[in-house]
Chain A
Amino acid sequence: MTDIIYHSVKASNDLSSGVGFSEFNTIDFNLVAAGRKLMVNSIRLCGQVSVQSAGADLTAASDVKIDHKIGAHGFFESFQCEISQGPKAQVLENLASYPRFVSMADCVSRNEIDVCDASLLSELRGATDASGMTVIQNVGTLSASASAVHDALPSFAIKPMLCFNRMVSGSDNYSFNANGSIRISCNLARSAHALYGQGCSDGTATYSLQNVRLTYVSIPDDGKQGKMMMDSYAFIKSNMISTQANVQARVPARAVSACSISVVSQSNETSLTNNSYALEQLPQLDELNFSFQDTLTNYITYTIDDLQDAITRGVKSFPGGDALNNSCNPNQQSAQRGYILGTDFDGQVIDLSGQKFGLNLKSLFNNMNNDPRLLFLYFHNQMIL
C-alpha cells in the first residue's frame, strides 16, 4: 500500500483574493516534491468562477453561457507544460486552441447522457446549451423559496488534457528527483470566446476565476524512473475561402498517429453571441482527400465523398474516439456541432517534422468566399520521456 499525499499549489503569480483571474491573464504553477513521484494523470485545476454582465451578477433572464460540452475548460485558451529545472529541463508541449480540442475529444467519445458522472459535472459540463447557462449561475441553499440565498459561486475542478494527464497505460510515475520540477502555465481565453449568447451582444459579459489552484497526487520515489509515454497534440490553423482548399502542413511533431479537423465560420469565431468553439459543418462537403509521404503506400486509396464515411473516420482519428458512443450524428451535425473530419494513420506513428501532410477539400457551397471557414487541424503526437 503506497503512502500518497494530496498536494495543492496556488499560482506563483496569484492575485489578491477577491479579484480573480480574467481574460488574457496568464497563470503559472510550479510543481515540486522532492523525494516523491507525481502520480500519472492526477493533475487537476480547481477554482470558482464568477460571470457577470454589465458588472452585475447574472439573473435568470441572462442569456450568457459557456459551451456545455467542455464546461470550465473553455476558460483556458492554451496550456504550456515544461520541466522547468533539473536534469531534463525542456518545454514539453504548447497546447494552442485548447478548448476546441477538448470539445472534439468530448464529441467523439461521449453521448449526451454520459454527462451524468461526477468527474464531468465537476467540470461544469452539461447535456444541452441551456446547461451552459445554468452552471455559471450562483448556487443557492436547499431552503425553500423565501429563505433561500444564492451566495455561492459555482466551483469547478477540471482535468486539463495536458501530457501529464494523458499518460498511456503502463507508464511509470514522474520522478521529481530524476527529471526536475514542472511548470504549468495557462493563458485564459478572451471573454468573447469563453462566453456566448444573446446576453453577450453588448460586450459587457465577463468572467473571473477565483481561488484558482492546481492539485496533484504524489507517491514516494522508489529511486527508479521507467518510461513515460504521453499523448499530446500539435496544432495548425488554416482556412477555406472558396469551394476548394488544399492545405499542405508541415507539422512540428515527430511521432504523429492521426489528424483530426474541425471547422467554424470566420464570422462566428469572433462573434460575441455565437459559440466560438462550435464544431460546425463544412457546408456541402463534396470530396475529401489526405496525402502524406511515408515509406509505404497511401492509406485510404479512394476519395471520400460520403459525409457519414468522413465523419466516422473523423471519430476514429481521435484517441478514444468511439464509433458506438459519440455525439457526431445527423441531429447534432444539423445543429452545427458534432462535425469532425480526419484520419488515423493505421496505428503507425509518422515523423511529420520533415515532410508535408496534405488535406484536399471540396465543397459545393458557392458562397464560401462571402462566409469563409476556418480549419483547425490537430495532429495527435506521442512523446516518450
Chain B
Amino acid sequence: MDSIVRISSNQATNDFSGNKNNVSFNLDSNSGVYDLSQSYVAINVRVSGNEDSALTTTGAVGDGSSVFNTMFQFNELPSAPRAAANAFLVPPTTAILVRNAQMVCSKGPVEVLNRVDQLRTNEYVFMKSKQALESHSNGIILPSSRRRDTGNSLQPYSELVSVSDKANPVASQAKDHEIRIPLKEIFNVGNQKMYDTSIYQNTKIALRMNFDLLSAAQQGGVMETTRFLGIATNPFNGELRAHTNDSGGTVALSTALSENFYNLFGNETIPYWIGQKITVSCADATHAVAAKITTITALYPYDGVSDVGPYEAGKGFAVPGNRGRIVIEFDGVYDNPTTGTIVGTNADPLIMKETLPGTTTLTRSLNKIELVCKRSASGSAPAKLDYTKFITEEDTFPVSANAVLQRYYSIPPNCDAIVITMVKGGGIFTAAAGSEAVKEYRVTINGDDISNRPITMHGQLHKNLIAQSLNNLGHQQQSNLNEFLQFNFSTANASALHKANTIMIPVPLSAQTQQLGLEIVPVNGVTFGGQLTLFKHVMASI
C-alpha cells in the first residue's frame, strides 16, 4: 500500500504575506516512486473577520462571538485596468493561483510553464461543468449550489451550522481551510503515475504564486431577507412575540419564520447560522422595531411546543400549519416593540439583515503550504517518461482603430494543438481591448487554410475547433457553455455571463517546424489590440 505524505515547502517561515509569492518543494533523491497524478499542492489558509461594527445596544464591540461567512476573492490583476466584476468569477481550476511553474531534475528541466494561471483557467473552463465547481469543496470560491436570492453561498472557510439541537446547539466556528491544486492541473507531467526519484534523483518544483491577487472578502447585500420581506401579494409571515427570559430585566425575543412565498422547505435553504451577526428592524409606524444588532444563538426546527406562539387565524400566516418552520433565537438583550407584542403583519415587513464586518477588518492568513504526495517506497517505474508540455509565446500588438490582426508564428515540431488567449496585459479573464468583440478569424498552417470560410467567434465551427483541440490535449470535454461561472449567479444577471476568450487550433502532427498564420477580424467599428499568448502543446520526454 502506498503512503500519503506531506512535504513542507522550502520556505521555512511560511511567510506569504505581501508580495512573497515564491514556493518550492524538493522530492529527494531515492525517496521513492511518486504518483504525480494523485499529488497536489495544499495551501492551508484562514480568512477571518473582526467585529468592529458599531453596536448600539446588543453585544459588545468585538466580542468575538460571531462567525462570518468569509471567503477569498481572486483579483486577476493587482490594480487597474482590473475589471472589478471579474472578482466574482469562479475560477474553474485552483491552478489560477500559480503564475509560473518549473520542475527540474538531475537530467535537466522536466517542464517549465509561464502563465499557468492564464492557460489553465481558459483551458479548464471547458473541462469543468457547473456541477463540478459546486461539488469542489477544496476550491477557492464555491458557487451557489442553492440558489439563494442574492446567489450567496456558504464558503468552506468557516464551519457554519444552520440547524442544530435546541438544548445543545453546536456553535459555528471559523476554520482553517485547505485549498488544493492538483499537480496535473499545473504541469502536464503531473499526469504521470510513476515518477521515480531513483532515476531522476533530486527534483525541485518551483512555483511563482499569485498570493498577492488573493484577498479576503465577504458576501455583501441583504442576504436572504428578501425571502421574508412582505411584498405585494406575498406577505411576510413572521411573528415576533415576547416571552419571559429567566435572567430577568431583559426580554429574549425569538421569531418563528413560517413558510412564505418561496416556501422555506429544506434545511439547506436556511440562510442563517448559529453565531451569525444580524440586524433586526421593522419600519412600521405602529409596530416599529428600532434597528438592533444581535447574534443568533440557536436555530432549530419548530417542534410545536416551544415558546413561540402557534398559528393564529388572522395574524398573518398565509399558509396552514408549521411546515418548514424554524425558530431563530437571538442574543439575549433586546428591546420590546414599542406597542403591542405582535409585529410582522401583512404590511409590516420584519427585516433581518446579515451584518458584516467592515472590509478593513477582514484578514487572511496563509498558514502553510505543503506538497501532498502519494508515494510508494519501491516500484519499477519506466526509465523514460513520455509526456507533453506547453511552450509559451507572448505577442503584443499596437492598438489602432478597426485594425485587423495578421500575424505569423512558428509551430515547433511535434505540436498537436495551440491554445491562444487574448487577455488584457497580465490578466486572466479580462479580454484584451476589443477582443471581446472579435467577429471572426482565419487560420493557416504552412499556408494552407484550415477552413474554407472565416470562423465566427463563439460559433459552431469555433466550438468544433475547440473540441478537436481538447481531444489532442488529452482531455474529455465536460462543458461547451464557454462561460465562466459567476459565484453570485442568478437568473437576474444571467445576461452578464462572461465568455472565455480563447481560440484553440488543432495542429496536424509533424516532425518539422510549421508556420501558423493568424488573421483576426474585429466587429465593425471596434478598436482591436492588446496582448495575445500562444501556448503550443508539444510532445516531450525525459
Q: Do chains A and B touch in the complex (CB under 8 A)?
A: yes
Q: Which residue numbers of A lie inside 8 Å of B, CB to CB? A: 61-63, 111-114, 128-130, 197-199, 201, 265, 267-268, 273-274, 281, 283-284, 294, 296-302, 305-309, 311-312, 322-337, 345-346, 348, 364-365, 367, 370-371
Interface of B: prevailing SS: loop
Contacts of A328 in B (CB 8 A): 135, 137
Q: Are A326 and B135 in contact (CB under 8 A)?
A: yes
Query: Contact string, B145-184, partner A, CB cutoff 8 A, digits 1/0?
Result: 1100000011110011111110110110101111000000
How many angstroms between the C-alpha atoms of A346 and B322 in the bound complex? Answer: 48
A273/B178 contact (C-beta < 8 A), A129-B266, A301-B3, A330-B137 known:
no
Task: Kindly supply a per-residue 1/0 record for chain B positions 311-328, scoring 1 wherever the CB is within 8 Å of any chain A CB and 0 otherwise.
Answer: 000000001111111000
Q: Known contacts being A284-B171, A301-B4, A370-B167, is A335 close to B270, with CB within 8 Å?
A: yes
Q: How far is the CA of A334 from the CA of B177 in the complex (A)?
A: 16
Q: Which residue on chain B has the smallest CB distance to residue A296?
A: B1
Task: Tell me whether B265 is interfacial, beta carbon within 8 Å.
Answer: yes
Asked if A308 meets B138 with Cβ closer than 8 Å, knowing A113-B131, A198-B321, the reply is yes
Assembled-state Cα–Cα distance A108/B218 (Å): 29
A329/B135 in contact, CB under 8 A: yes
Contacts of A335 in B (CB 8 A): 162-163, 266-270
Known interface pairs A281-B161, A284-B159, A323-B135. Does A332 touch B302 (Cβ–Cβ under 8 Å)?
no
- In angstroms, Cα B6 to Cα A198, docked, is 48
Contact (Cβ within 8 A) A198 B302: yes
B44 at interface (Cβ–Cβ under 8 A)? yes
Does the CB pair A302–B163 fall under 8 Å?
Answer: no
Give min CB distance, A289 to chain B, whole Å. Answer: 13
Q: Do residues B267 and A111 form an inter-chain contact, with CB atoms below 8 A?
A: no
Which residues on B sit within 8 Å (CB–CB) of A305?
176
Assuming the contacts A128-B266, A336-B267, A345-B1, asked whether A61 and B320 have C-beta atoms less than 8 A apart, the reply is yes
CB <8 Å contact, B267 and A129: yes
Q: How far is the CA of A107 from the CA of B321 in the complex (A)?
A: 30
The distance from the CB of A176 to the nearest CB of chain B, in whole angstroms, is: 39
Write out the residue numbers on chain B whose beta carbons fall within 8 Å of the beta carbon of A111. 131, 134-135, 145
A197: chain B residues within 8 A (beta carbon): 323
Identify which of A283, A324, A364 contacts B132 (C-beta below 8 A). Answer: A324
CB < 8 Å neighbour of B168 from A333, A334, A370? A370
Chain B interface residues (CB < 8 Å from chain A)? 1-6, 44, 128-129, 131-132, 134-138, 142, 144-146, 153-156, 159-165, 167-168, 170-171, 173, 175-178, 263, 265-270, 273, 301-304, 319-325, 374, 377
CB of B128 within 8 A of CB of A324, answer: yes
Q: Are A337 and B136 in touch, CB under 8 angstroms?
A: no
Residues of B within 8 A of A267 (CB): 165
Do A128 and B321 touch across chains, with their CB atoms under 8 A apart? no
A308 to B94, CA, bound (A): 15
Contact of B177 among A308, A325, A367 (CB under 8 A): A308
Taken together as a complex, chains A and B put the C-alpha atoms of A311 and B277 apart, in Å, by: 27
**9 smallest beta-carbon distances between A and B, as pairs:** A130-B265, A129-B266, A335-B267, A335-B268, A324-B132, A371-B168, A283-B170, A334-B162, A111-B131
* Residues of A with C-beta under 8 A to B175: 306-307
Question: Which chain A residues border B325 with CB–CB below 8 Å?
Answer: 198
Question: Measured between alpha carbons, how far is A327 from B135 in the docked complex, in Å?
Answer: 6
The minimal Cβ–Cβ distance linking B125 to chain A, given in whole angstroms, is 14
Known contacts: A267-B165, A283-B170. The answer to whether A297 contacts B132 by CB under 8 A is no
Per the bound structure, the CA–CA distance linking A201 and B177 in Å amounts to 39
- A/B interface sample: 22 pairs, CB < 8 A: A61-B323, A128-B266, A130-B263, A198-B301, A198-B304, A199-B321, A201-B303, A297-B3, A305-B176, A307-B175, A308-B177, A323-B135, A324-B136, A325-B132, A327-B145, A330-B137, A330-B142, A331-B145, A331-B146, A331-B268, A335-B266, A370-B168
Chain B neighbourhood of A112, CB < 8 A: 145
B137 touches A329 (CB 8 A): yes
A residues within 8 A CB of B44?
306
Contact between chains at A299 and B137 (CB < 8 Å): no
Q: CA separation between A4 and B2, bound complex, in Å?
A: 45
